[in-house]
Amino acid sequence: MSERQEHPKDDRLLKYGLIGTVLVALCCFTPVLVVLLGAVGLSALLGWLDFVLLPALAVFIGITIFALWRRQRTN
């Protein structure tokens, strides 16, 4: 059995970490979420975005780094 088949959880963790990081980064650094919330009438929530998006970005970057570390350690 190959290394990749023995540890599919590492690949899944890396995939989720990268997808989450990209999505949160898009919402942090582009006005995507601002435009969407304004379009549906929820622009009052824009003041709280930094309190949610920045910790979420840190968590997803941490998950990605952890998955890369686990993958390197098992190889």
Q: pLDDT of 33-52, one tens digit each?
A: 888 888 998 888 888 888 88
Decide if 68 is inside a domain: yes
| For residue 25, pLDDT beyond 60 | yes
Is residue 75 within 8 Å of residue 3, measured between CB atoms? yes
**By residue range, what is the domain housing residue 39?**
7-74
Decide if 31 is inside a domain: yes
Decide if 1 is inside a domain: no
Decide if 25 is inside a domain: yes
How many H-runs (helices) and E-runs (strands) does the chain carry?
4, 0
Quote the pTM value: 0.74
Mean pLDDT, the chain, rounded, equals: 83
Burial of 25 (0-12, 13-18, 19+ CB in 10 A): middle
Decide if 2 is inside a domain: no
**Structural domains of the chain, count:** 1
